Amino acid sequence: MRVAVVGDGVAAALAGAVLARAGAAVIRVPTEEGGTGLGPFGPALTAMPDWQASDIAAALPPVPGASFALGIAFAGWAANGGGWFLPFGDVGAALGPISFAQVIARMRAQGHALRFADFALATQAAQAGRFAPPSPDPRSPLSTLAMGVHYPAEALADALTALAPVQAVAPLVRVEHSEGRIAALVLADGAMLVADLYVDATGGDGRLIGHLSPGWESWAECLPCARATVTATAETQPPPPYAFHSADRDGWAATIPLDGRRVETRFSVAGAGTPYVNGRRTAAWRGNCVALGAAAGVIEPVLGAPLLLALRQAERIAALLPHAADQSAEAAEYNRLTAAELDRARDAAVALWATNGRVGEPLWDAARDRGSDQLRWTLDLYRSRGRVPLYDEELLSRADWIAILDGQGLRPRRLDPLGAAVSDAAVTAHAGRLRDRLLAAVRQMPSHADQLARYRAAS
């Protein structure tokens, strides 16, 4: 099984590593265009905690310049400039029949001002600039953590490339295709490369898949930004263990704290910057060519999805590695799952825009309450009774959704009737106990700077 992986950045390195480890003979074809293959969003990537659970992440050595992530801090998205934190890991604990979100709702009904996410160890540790890896011991409070990572894209690509043997060839100059299939790749040295499967990891242009499957579904109506501008600044201070995503009148900006460097990406509707269109390819696998990363779908990284999505796509290709020229069954399944997963990731990103509190600003007023039927259903149910439906291929957990919607200031209209069996006093005592336990645990955690120094020494 010969697989040509085309592209220069993390997306191609990731696909190459995953497919080579699955037993394919991988040939990496550069395009000399640079970029990550995950969208023109800059040289820093947030790996959400699920990344960490993969075989690939387990095999990676420490990556120079990486830093740890306990969550993402948001500012300017909710009304009154209110900031909030999306923690990685568990939030609070249920009390008998009532969920922790209900504990919060009950406390609020009693007049206490508190936030759901404040009851995550990750939130408290992030505030204190502390970090520890999750503990496998379920009795330890550290077991409630889930770890994310901020990666410098190039160093991550190098580390991934070193993971598995792949053959490198001269850069791509032309794609030969006929009858809905790639016939060959013409390389800079004149060679014709023929493979059983062509993986397009070239980014939003889709230099291979664009010939076979040009259809693109745009999400500009709900995710209006279309220009990205990147600035990197050297940093001597120890980085905070979280990225910072702040909204303003004209768009939003992501600040990702790498070890030694701070990368800021601004996302705006118009003006200078690299253009992109949030959306996805209508069919990401057609004929003998499959797209992953931004070639399959572009979602600006407001919830850090691109790297995780590319991993899922690479793993999916590995599980569906074709064994015959007719790849239509594989393509159908890949397209079904990839589209559903991208749509769910889109809805999570759109949720921030749909629930924004920037009243009186045209960009934000236009985006409010937009979104798919599924997203509307999620928001309606949450507003009604604090319930979050999880759909097939959902990327976020229920706690993630609640932290986001709670942070944005959505408040359920009703309490859970089953909670009536638990007294207000018991609810208050439970919340107090949880807070004490969290604070005690944070005090025991080492600083993020110390943990990073140790990681750096190992890399």
Toward another protein, which CB reaches closer, 387 or 448?
Answer: 387
* Interface stretch with another protein, choices 31-39, 255-263, 326-334, 441-449 (CB under 8 A): 326-334
Query: Counting contacts by CB under 8 A, is residue 453 touching another protein?
Result: no
Cα end-to-end span (Å), the chain: 34
Query: Counting contacts by CB under 8 A, is residue 165 touching another protein?
Result: no
Contact residue for another protein among 97, 214, 275, 446 (CB under 8 A): 97
Toward another protein, which CB reaches closer, 175 or 290?
Answer: 290
**Shortest approach of another protein to residue 396 CB, angstroms?**
12
**Shortest approach of another protein to residue 332 CB, angstroms?**
7
Contact residue for another protein among 115, 370, 385, 437 (CB under 8 A): 385
- Nearest by Cα to 230 from 269, 277, 273, 268: 273
Toward another protein, which CB reaches closer, 167 or 328?
Answer: 328
Toward another protein, which CB reaches closer, 62 or 419?
Answer: 419
Cα distance between residue 412 and residue 380, in whole Å: 9
- Nearest by Cα to 302 from 195, 363, 228, 385: 228
Q: Say if residues 335 and 317 touch (Cβ distance below 8 Å).
A: no
Query: Counting contacts by CB under 8 A, is residue 421 touching another protein?
Result: yes
* Interface stretch with another protein, choices 154-162, 280-288, 381-389, 451-459 (CB under 8 A): 381-389
Query: Counting contacts by CB under 8 A, is residue 133 touching another protein?
Result: no
Cα distance between residue 299 and residue 425, in whole Å: 45
Give the neighbor-by-neighbor strand order of the sheet with 67-69: 44-47, 148-152, 67-69
Task: Dump strand ranges (E) for 7-158.
Answer: 25-29, 44-47, 67-69, 71-75, 84-87, 148-152
Task: Dump strand ranges (E) for 235-374.
Answer: 243-248, 251-258, 261-268, 274-275, 279-281, 285-286, 289-291, 297-298
Cα distance between residue 150 and residue 262, in whole Å: 11
Query: Counting contacts by CB under 8 A, is residue 375 touching another protein?
Result: no
Contact residue for another protein among 135, 231, 384, 459 (CB under 8 A): 384
Query: Counting contacts by CB under 8 A, is residue 232 touching another protein?
Result: no
Toward another protein, which CB reaches closer, 40 or 371?
Answer: 371
Cα distance between residue 361 and residue 224, in whole Å: 14
- Say which amino acid occupies 115: R
Which two structure tokens, joined as six digits, stand for 174? 């032309």
Contact residue for another protein among 75, 169, 230, 415 (CB under 8 A): 415
**Shortest approach of another protein to residue 198 CB, angstroms?**
16
Query: Counting contacts by CB under 8 A, is residue 394 touching another protein?
Result: yes
Query: Counting contacts by CB under 8 A, is residue 139 touching another protein?
Result: no
Q: How many residues bind another protein (CB under 8 A)?
A: 39
- CA angle (320, 291, 192) in 5-degree steps: 95
Between strands 216-218 and 279-281, the pairing is: antiparallel
Toward another protein, which CB reaches closer, 9 or 322?
Answer: 322
Could you identify the residue written with the tokens 């076979």? Answer: 212
Which two structure tokens, joined as six digits, stand for 306? 């691109």
Query: Counting contacts by CB under 8 A, is residue 414 touching another protein?
Result: yes
**Shortest approach of another protein to residue 327 CB, angstroms?**
9
Contact residue for another protein among 162, 329, 359, 429 (CB under 8 A): 329
Query: Counting contacts by CB under 8 A, is residue 57 touching another protein?
Result: no
Which residues contact another protein by CB under 8 A? 1, 21-24, 55, 97, 109, 318-324, 329-330, 332-333, 380-381, 384-385, 387, 389-394, 413-418, 420-422
